[in-house]
Chains A and B, each alone.
Chain A
Amino acid sequence: MNQMRMVILVAIACVVCLNLAGCGGGPGPQGKGEKDRPARPAMED
């Protein structure tokens, strides 16, 4: 029972924390998959 309470408390803390971080927005429409992109632009010669 205590473990269950702990799990619930941790879940609530996570939600609160994410909200404080401004992470409430859901993902928007994605175009090109991230894996299809390079991590960064080409280096100069």
Chain B
Amino acid sequence: MLSLVVLAAVFHAEPGWNGFRGAGLGAVYLEMKAPTKWSEHENVVWKVALPGSGSSSPVVWDGKAYIVCYSGYGVEGAGGKVADLKRHLVALELKTGKEVWQVQVKGVAGEDGYRGYLTEHGYASSTPAVDGYGVYAYLGKSGLHAYDHGGKKLWEADCGQESDPRGWGSAASPIVVGDLVVVNAASESRAILAFDRKTGKQVWKAEGGTLALSFGTPVLAKGLDGVENLLVGAPGEIWALNPKTGKLVWYAPLRGRGNISPSVVAGMVQGESLAFVTGGFESKGTTALRVGGKVEPKGGRQAWEVGVSSYVPTPLLHAGRLYWVDEMAALKVLDASTGKVAHEGKLPLKERGGRSRPVYASLVLVGDKLYCQTRREGVFVLSTGEKPEVVGQNRVEDGGDFSATPVPVEGGLLLRSSKMLYRVGEK
């Protein structure tokens, strides 16, 4: 009987955070627990200095955390020569924070200069993906790099060396889809690229000029008809690709016609398989679409569209509601089946925003609490439901910028600043 209980626990355990927003889990970790209170002196299990800056989240696998950093150029206004840019992939012991191995990859000629939006997020904004075979780090113009769990290089793949029209750099994260690793290389080659995860050989390329200024991570979703879509938001439209071939199954217009930074969110809502795309500047909005095959679903492709949006953070879908705290710290709760705004609020920040917006990270749901990482004023803990309330604000400070989405781990969270990585939780 006991073994049955243990087996049930094993099979029901949520997989760890193995890619951007926990990959297929959409940043929803109902079975995990994290503290609602911590500070410099309370509930910090460990903290370690990182070898460089970055805005991406770590990923976790089998007792290790993997994180990408950059150094040598453009580290928080320190200047330097672009030729000195290096990106680092670091493996750390999850229990202690101790470094296990580290590799460094030099930048390439033609890296975007440290100006404009790049000063806001830097050169290590793509969260790696990890599976039983290895860890996959997308390093922009330096390409996609795969290492095994011991730090041995498996392969690297060229993803292009172009720049987006504004020179804002890369931000999308790789995802593992079956035997493929897929990247949104919109900046580097205006294409979604798929590689064999074991050999690094390119399997397909889905190219299109519309992809310029698309910064979101692709998301896999299945329609009610069983057809899988690899969904990517682009300025003015969403693409639904066949994940095995890269061919376009369908595409549809979006209200948001400007650049799209958040990732598409997908899930079941009242018996429908929906995808939600938000973003755009200055023509912005949020659109809900029915996913599936090329035959237009019953009720039409578009389920609803509204004029509110999040420009940077990706929304979170849970229990029929779409939540987000946008880049200006405005909280929105939408009914995911209708798009009706159920609640609007604002995090009580001291700073007023301005060009350097106060929130870049996306919400994470751990247990029954939402965690919102702000860039300079700590993590807000909120209740769920139609009207979330702030139940905590916790800070660890190192003078750095916290733009990475928090990562749920057993009994706590990993928090990444531009200087340090922290594990918070009960000791």
The residue on A at minimum CB distance from B121 is A22
Task: Tell me which of B150-158, B217-225, B242-250 binds A.
Answer: B242-250
The residue on B at minimum CB distance from A29 is B110
Are the C-beta atoms of B161 and A40 separated by less than 8 Å?
no
A26-B167, A27-B167, A29-B162 as given contacts; A41 in contact with B117, CB under 8 Å:
no
Q: How far, in whole Å, are A21 and B280 apart by their CA atoms in the complex?
A: 10
A24-B116, A26-B116 as given contacts; A41 in contact with B166, CB under 8 Å:
no
Are the C-beta atoms of B162 and A39 separated by less than 8 Å?
no
Chain A's nearest CB lies how many Å from the CB of B368? Answer: 34
Residues of chain B with a CB closer than 8 A to A26's CB: 113, 115-116, 166-167
Chain A's nearest CB lies how many Å from the CB of B232? Answer: 10
Chain B's nearest CB lies how many Å from the CB of A33? Answer: 9
A41-B241, A44-B247 as given contacts; A23 in contact with B162, CB under 8 Å:
no
Q: Which positions 375-424 of chain B face chain A at CB distance < 8 Å?
A: none
Q: Which positions 1-41 of chain A face chain B at CB distance < 8 Å?
A: 19-32, 34, 37-41
Q: How far, in whole Å, are A14 and B354 apart by their CA atoms in the complex?
A: 15
Are the C-beta atoms of B162 and A32 separated by less than 8 Å?
yes
A27-B163, A28-B164 as given contacts; A40 in contact with B249, CB under 8 Å:
no
Residues of chain A with a CB closer than 8 A to B242's CB: 44
A38-B208, A38-B209, A39-B210 as given contacts; A24 in contact with B162, CB under 8 Å:
no
Interface majority SS on B: helix, strand, loop or mixed? loop
Interface size, chain A (Cβ < 8 Å): 24
Interface size class of B (residues with CB under 8 A): 35 or more
Are the C-beta atoms of B209 and A37 separated by less than 8 Å?
yes
Q: How far, in whole Å, are A27 and B212 apart by their CA atoms in the complex?
A: 12
Q: Which positions 331-389 of chain B face chain A at CB distance < 8 Å?
A: 354-355
Residues of chain A with a CB closer than 8 A to B249's CB: 43-44
Most B C-beta atoms less than 10 A away, residue of A21, A25, A27: A25
Q: How far, in whole Å, are A18 and B242 apart by their CA atoms in the complex?
A: 37
Are the C-beta atoms of B247 and A25 separated by less than 8 Å?
no
Residues of chain B with a CB closer than 8 A to A19's CB: 355
Are the C-beta atoms of A43 and B110 separated by less than 8 Å?
no
Chain A's nearest CB lies how many Å from the CB of B124? Answer: 17
The residue on A at minimum CB distance from B357 is A22
Are the C-beta atoms of B165 and A24 separated by less than 8 Å?
no
The residue on A at minimum CB distance from B245 is A44
A39-B208, A40-B251, A44-B242 as given contacts; A21 in contact with B281, CB under 8 Å:
yes
Are the C-beta atoms of A31 and B160 separated by less than 8 Å?
yes
Residues of chain A with a CB closer than 8 A to B282's CB: 21
Q: Which 5 A/B pairs are nearest by Cβ-Cβ distance?
A: A25-B116, A28-B163, A24-B116, A40-B208, A28-B167
Residue contacts A-B, CB under 8 angstroms, 14 given: A24-B115, A25-B166, A26-B113, A27-B167, A28-B167, A31-B160, A31-B162, A37-B208, A39-B208, A40-B237, A40-B248, A41-B246, A42-B247, A43-B248
